[in-house]
Amino acid sequence: MSVTAFVTAALAAVAIVASRGLRQRAQAVVLPVATGVLLLALWHLWAESTRYEIATPGEPVRTVEVFPTPERTLVAFRELLSDGRLLRYSIASLFRVAVGFLLAAAIGIPLGLWAGWSTRASYSINPFVQALRPISPLAWIPIATLTFGIRDEAAIFIIFLGSFFPIVTGTMSAVRSMPVAYVRSAHNFGLRKFELLAHVVFPAALPQIITSLRIALGVAWLVIVAAEMNAIQSGLGFLIVDARNMGMRYDLVVAAMLVIGAIGIGLDFLVRRLERIDSVRWGFTKE
């Protein structure tokens, strides 16, 4: 057990408690940093606790590492960075997620608008959307392989499924919860059905649709590991699956996990920016 890690963890814990006295803006910096340091120290201690020694007769005693420490993971991260895999695989994964997500939005938003607007459409579509929604994309992997083979399309299909259902459901409920007054006044202006959908219903529902897109993008990124599990030769999900297949490269697994998390934060940040655009804000939700 390394003393340094214990001391670091203790110092971080003290900083968290002591930051109570600081001003709000200082706390906004101190708290995440201190919590991050605390988590790193705990990770290190936990990794160390999985180490064990083995004494084979006739051989020197040696220590066996089981779980990678943060330091080992950093080395693996540098390895991925310097041989270009990190960039290549991130782009491959982002490309698949972009295509799958955009397809899901392109089909899911119109379908959701329609099902939210027309009771008949809702009766026909809703039960099946709700029945398919809770099925994990993992369960679809064999079907994706049987349908698309072991190509990009199979991975994109899995991502599409992951984001399609939140988009349809979100859009549908956005339309349903729209104030009746909007529709009545639109009728008074003599708007036709399509104009009504395009110029009143869609913009009014847009803020909630964006929220559902945000959730859907999160899910799309979440399923990247599942999507890239099957014989796809690139991507961050593939990196995890591939590293698991190797002898002892769990440092690569953890490094890839952290990269997936970091990119996830980045994606969420971008969609949040989308929510702030003025033309989106006129909807009925209060911010």
Q: Residues interacting with other proteins, by CB under 8 A?
A: 50, 52, 54-57, 62, 64-66, 142, 145-147, 149-150, 230-231, 233, 244-249
Rounded to a whole number of angstroms, the minimum distance from the CB of residue 150 to other proteins is 5
Cβ partners under 8 Å of residue 7, min gap 6? none
Q: Can you tell me the distance from the alpha carbon of 123 to that of 111, in angstroms, rounded to the nearest whole number? A: 13
Rounded to a whole number of angstroms, the minimum distance from the CB of residue 67 to other proteins is 8
The CA-based dihedral angle spanning residues 135, 138, 140, 144, taken in that order and rounded to the nearest 10 degrees: 160
Q: Contact 46/7 with Cβ under 8 angstroms?
A: no
Nearer residue to other proteins within complex by CB, 171 or 230? 230
Q: Can you tell me the distance from the alpha carbon of 123 to that of 39, in angstroms, rounded to the nearest whole number? A: 49
Nearer residue to other proteins within complex by CB, 71 or 195? 71
Nearer residue to other proteins within complex by CB, 32 or 149? 149
As given in the structure block, the two tokens for residue 19 are: 């930051």
Rounded to a whole number of angstroms, the minimum distance from the CB of residue 98 to other proteins is 24
Name the E strands within the chain.
52-54, 62-64
Q: Can you tell me the distance from the alpha carbon of 202 to that of 196, in angstroms, rounded to the nearest whole number? A: 8
Cα 138 from chain centre: 15
Rounded to a whole number of angstroms, the minimum distance from the CB of residue 263 to other proteins is 23
Rounded to a whole number of angstroms, the minimum distance from the CB of residue 244 to other proteins is 4
Whose structure tokens read 């796809």? 232
| Exposure b/e, 141-174, CB count within 10 A at least 16 = b | beebbeebeeebbbbbbbbbbbbbbbbbbbbbbb
As given in the structure block, the two tokens for residue 182 are: 């909007």
Q: Phi, psi (5° rounding) for residue 52?
A: -145, 160
Q: Where are the alpha helices (DSSP H) in 84-118?
A: 85-117
Rounded to a whole number of angstroms, the minimum distance from the CB of residue 51 to other proteins is 11
Nearer residue to other proteins within complex by CB, 52 or 123? 52
Rounded to a whole number of angstroms, the minimum distance from the CB of residue 9 to other proteins is 24
Nearer residue to other proteins within complex by CB, 111 or 141? 141
Nearer residue to other proteins within complex by CB, 149 or 261? 149
Nearer residue to other proteins within complex by CB, 216 or 243? 243
